[in-house]
Amino acid sequence: MSILQFKKNILITGGAGFIGSHLVRLFVTKYPDYKIINLDKLTYAGNLENLKDIDSSDNYEFVKGDIQDKDFLADLFTKKAITDVIHLAAESHVDRSISGPMEFILTNIVGTANLLDTAKGYWTELKGHTFYHISTDEVYGSLGAEGFFLETTPYDPRSPYSASKASSDHLVRAYQHTYGMEVKISNCSNNYGSHQFPEKLIPLMINNIRNKKPLPIYGTGENIRDWLWVEDHARAIDVIFHKGEIGETYNIGGWNEWTNIALVKHLCSIMDKKLELPQGESAELITFVKDRAGHDQRYAIDATKIKKELGWEPSIQFEEGLEKTVDWYLNNEDWVNAITSGDYQQYYKKHYSS
């Protein structure tokens, strides 16, 4: 099918990453009349094998590129006749933003500005084109013991990562307010599930338990996060893209708060069961380490608006999702070894050579 025959040519940025790959898979399989163009730089966090099951689909195309490169973007929009954007490409790990903030500023802020400005230049008539920006609840700052983040909560980002995401959210809103671009934003809580780079809490702990390495808990382990199954996030993005109001923000969360220490202990007990170890053995690996600089105490999303207005809610219980996640990591040891070593050759050879 030529590109002009599709109903929409949707540019999904960061589609080779954790959430992006789940979203690309959902859109490619659910909407054969949309062309999905996955633009990704393939940083350490982006892996094309995440999409091997759908990458020969007629309505899918991968383009390697950097959102920091505006000339490249201008060319891409023209060549692919982009009609809509769902923007996920970002540097996403808080600890990396503390040790090296500049790449976060360049990709998350300048890269988003490049995309907005390219879209504005290419879409001569802004009406009818959606620019949907995927953001985080971390822009709202840190909660105490009570309360939830609402869509109206004032921004108060505290890490270089959250400050860069907050900045990009403001730019997206400015393009609507100033130029009339048809934008949408969603701010989601912590995701978990398959294909997450094992530097984030849950996959890091699974991998360390399997390798009998210490489980580093920052500070006291009493910090709280609200966890959401990644495929539920992808479903929410689908609903917002199709039914969300232009110019609106939607908070997405799991109504699922856990202290880090309770979560890791729970994970240890699942791992003991799966690895047929005596109960309590994995938890012996827990090691309290120096706290993260500026560590936000608690995140918790009030996801009432998206439920009431768009009918979305999480589909699976955390216990079930966590067990599925553990199973995926245990069954995909090669994937973990390949992405952590940066050497995909062995992985490709084993799984995709015919």
Tokens at 115, concatenated: 């995309």
Residues ≥6 apart with Cβ < 8 Å to 56: none
Shortest distance, position 148 Cβ to ligand TYD, whole Å: 16
Measuring CA to CA, which residue among 162, 223, 134, 230 is closest to residue 190? Answer: 230
Part of the chain binding ligand NAD (CB under 6 A), chosen from 16-24, 142-150, 239-247, 313-321: 16-24
Q: If binding is defined by CB under 6 A, does position 190 make contact with ligand TYD? A: yes
* Closest by CA position to 11, among listed 95, 130, 105: 130
What the block records as the tokens of 7 is 């109903």
Which of ligand TYD, ligand NAD, none does 45 bind, CB closer than 5 to 8 A by kind?
ligand NAD
Taking the C-alpha atoms of residue 75 and residue 244, their distance in angstroms, rounded to an integer, is: 29
Contacts to ligand TYD from residues 91-130, by CB under 6 A = 94
Considering the complex, what minimum distance in angstroms separates the CB of residue 90 from ligand TYD? 12
> For ligand NAD, which residue of 9, 59, 107, 118 counts as binding (CB under 6 A)?
107
Instruction: Count the residues of the shown chain that bind ligand NAD, applying the rule CB under 6 A.
Output: 30
Contacts of 264 (CB under 8 A, 6+ apart): 201, 205, 215, 217, 221, 286
**Tokens 């979560």 identify what position?**
263
From ligand TYD, ligand NAD, none, interface partner of 254 (C-beta below 5 to 8 A by class):
none
| CA–CA separation, 103 and 125 (whole Å) | 33
Cβ of residue 164: shortest distance to ligand NAD, in angstroms?
9
Say whether residue 39 binds ligand TYD (CB under 6 A).
Answer: no
Strands 182-188, 130-136: pairing is parallel
Indicate whether 285 belongs to the interface with ligand NAD (CB under 6 A): no
Q: What's the start-to-end Cα distance of the chain, in Å?
A: 27
Residue 195 interacting with ligand TYD (CB under 6 A)? no
The answer to whether 204 contacts ligand TYD (rule: CB under 6 A) is yes
Using rule CB under 6 A, residue 88 touches ligand NAD: yes
Structure tokens at 312: 């979305």
Strand partners, 38: 12, 62
| Residues at the contact surface with ligand NAD, assessed by CB under 6 A | 13-14, 16-20, 40-43, 45-46, 66-68, 88-92, 107, 111, 134, 136, 165, 188, 190-191, 197
| Residues at the contact surface with ligand TYD, assessed by CB under 6 A | 94, 190, 200-201, 204, 216-218, 223, 225, 260, 292
